[in-house]
Amino acid sequence: MSERKVNFNPGPAALPLDVLKTVQSELLDFQGSGMSILESSHRAKEFEAVNDRAIELVREVLGLSADYHVLFMGGGASTQFALIPMNFVGEGQTAAYVDTGSFANKAMKEAQNITNVHVAFNGKEEKYRRMPAMDDIKYPSDAAYVHICSNNTIEGTQFHQFPNTGNVPLVADMSSDIASRQLDYSQFSLIYAGAQKNLGPSGVTLVIVRDDFLATARKDVPTILSHKTHADNKSLYNTPPVFGIYIMKLVLDWIQSNGGLAGVEKLNAAKKDLLYGAIDSAPDFYKGAAEKAARSWMNVTMRLPDEELEARFVADAKKEGILGIKGHRSVGGIRFSIYNAVTLADIQKTVDFMDKFRKSA
Ligand code: PMP
């Protein structure tokens, strides 16, 4: 086998090597069943046990109480952009959206196709370089919910403190930072995340919804598009994304065996300190793209003095086995997506490369 690369892909992204090895070892014969998990029925006891344990693990790892439903849905986070306003904005109500980045904006635009939207914060005019202070976020007290994106994957900014919305439910797109740090997850009424960054492969979307919020859901939504349908059926109303759920379970096992979110957070802190440290130590050459206070622990974005140097940086990194660092096509520059499965050794190798590249440029 060729050597595995340093993988900074933004999603689908690096998975823990131990998880991939388990998948490989179980692929042809899942736990003595004589078939792979891909081939067994979603109603078979083998899969049901995986599904049940994955639900339990989400609760254990995130520290959620029993009044949260854990759903595994299809369609990616983008489908939730539509399903959330469809399900949770009542007749004549308004939903509030905090616009801190490209995906937050997409979620808001989709909601505008469906319902009344109040813009609770507009970061677009400042090119999404900073995050709002808590009192910059304004919304009507009778809003159906306040929607935020906890980590802005493209811009490399992140909420490090969350608004206290009191009686107004707080809804978060955590696609790019779920399970990366310790948080009071109980401040959210609903959380959703495409799995393909921190939790597993693409094709499964984790949705966590608290019972009191689910009770407010509309009844006039098509069965398959209703969160309640999936909550009432442990995500087995129809055929779920079985392989994704299985891998998510393995990733959650891996998080638990690495000290849970406390262990993961410690490692992620060391990773981002090393990488931002390298950027800040050469300010005439590397420039962090986001305002310092807003910097993401998951997506580290930076610029070089010009685009030609950026292109060379990407090409030279590739020769060293460092991949997936070209910034999103909408913003350019360089982006290192340093999700949970990226190791400290990967970052050290990258920092060494950055130093060498700068000196040779
Ligand atoms: N929200 C965020 C924060 C994302 O980073 C992404 C994908 N990169 C999405 C939503 C869209 O997710 P999906 O492709 O699963 O629809």
The per-residue pLDDT string of the chain (361 residues; one tens digit each, 9 = 90 and over) reads: 678 999 999 999 999 999 999 999 999 999 999 999 999 999 999 999 999 999 999 999 999 999 999 999 999 999 999 999 999 999 999 999 999 999 999 999 999 999 999 999 999 999 999 999 999 999 999 999 999 999 999 999 999 999 999 999 999 999 999 999 999 999 999 999 999 999 999 999 999 999 999 999 999 999 999 999 999 999 999 999 999 999 999 999 999 999 999 999 999 999 999 999 999 999 999 999 999 999 999 999 999 999 999 999 999 999 999 999 999 998 899 999 999 999 999 999 999 999 999 999 9
Q: What are phi and psi of 206, to 5 degrees?
A: -85, 130
Q: How far is the CA of 123 from the centre of ligand 1 (A)?
A: 18
Name the residue ranges covered by the structural domains of the chain.
18-257, 260-360
Task: From 148, 176, 196, 204, give the residue whose CB has the most ligand 1 atoms within 8 Å, as the site to mutate.
Answer: 176
- CATH code at 18-257: 3.40.640.10
Mutation choice for ligand 1 from 8, 72, 73, 78, CB with most ligand atoms inside 8 A: 78
- Please list every protein residue whose CB sits less than 6 Å from any atom of ligand 1: 11, 76-78, 103, 149, 153, 173, 175-176, 194
Which pLDDT value is given to residue 1? Answer: 67
What is the pLDDT at residue 330? 87
How confident is the model at residue 354, as a pLDDT? 98
Residues 6+ apart with CB under 8 A from 248: 54, 72, 195, 199, 200, 204, 206
Ligand 1 center–CA 182 separation, angstroms: 21
Residue 95, CA atoms < 13 Å, CB-side half-sphere: 29
Q: Out of 102, 103, 180, give the residue to mutate to test ligand 1, the one with the largest number of ligand atoms within 8 Å of its CB.
A: 103
Nearest CA to ligand 1 atom 4: 175
CA distance 98 to 107: 10
CA 194 to ligand 1: nearest atom:
15
Q: Which residues contact 163 (CB under 8 A, 6 or more apart)?
A: 98, 134, 137, 146, 148, 170
CA torsion angle for 264, 172, 132, 292 (degrees, to 10)? 20
Whether residue 301 contacts residue 289, with contact meaning beta carbons closer than 8 Å, is answered with yes
Which atom of ligand 1 is the closest one to the Cα of 196? 15
**pTM metric for this prediction:** 0.98
Q: Name the CATH topology of 260-360.
A: Aspartate Aminotransferase, domain 1 (3.90.1150)
Say how far apart CA 166 and CA 148 lie, in whole Å. Answer: 15
Q: Which atom of ligand 1 is nearest to the CA of 151?
A: 3
Do residues 288 and 276 lie in contact, with contact meaning Cβ atoms separated by under 8 Å? yes
Distance 151 CA to ligand 1 centre (A): 10
CA of 356 from ligand 1 middle (Å) equals: 34
The protein residue whose alpha carbon is closest to atom 14 in ligand 1 is 76
179 token code pair: 């399970």
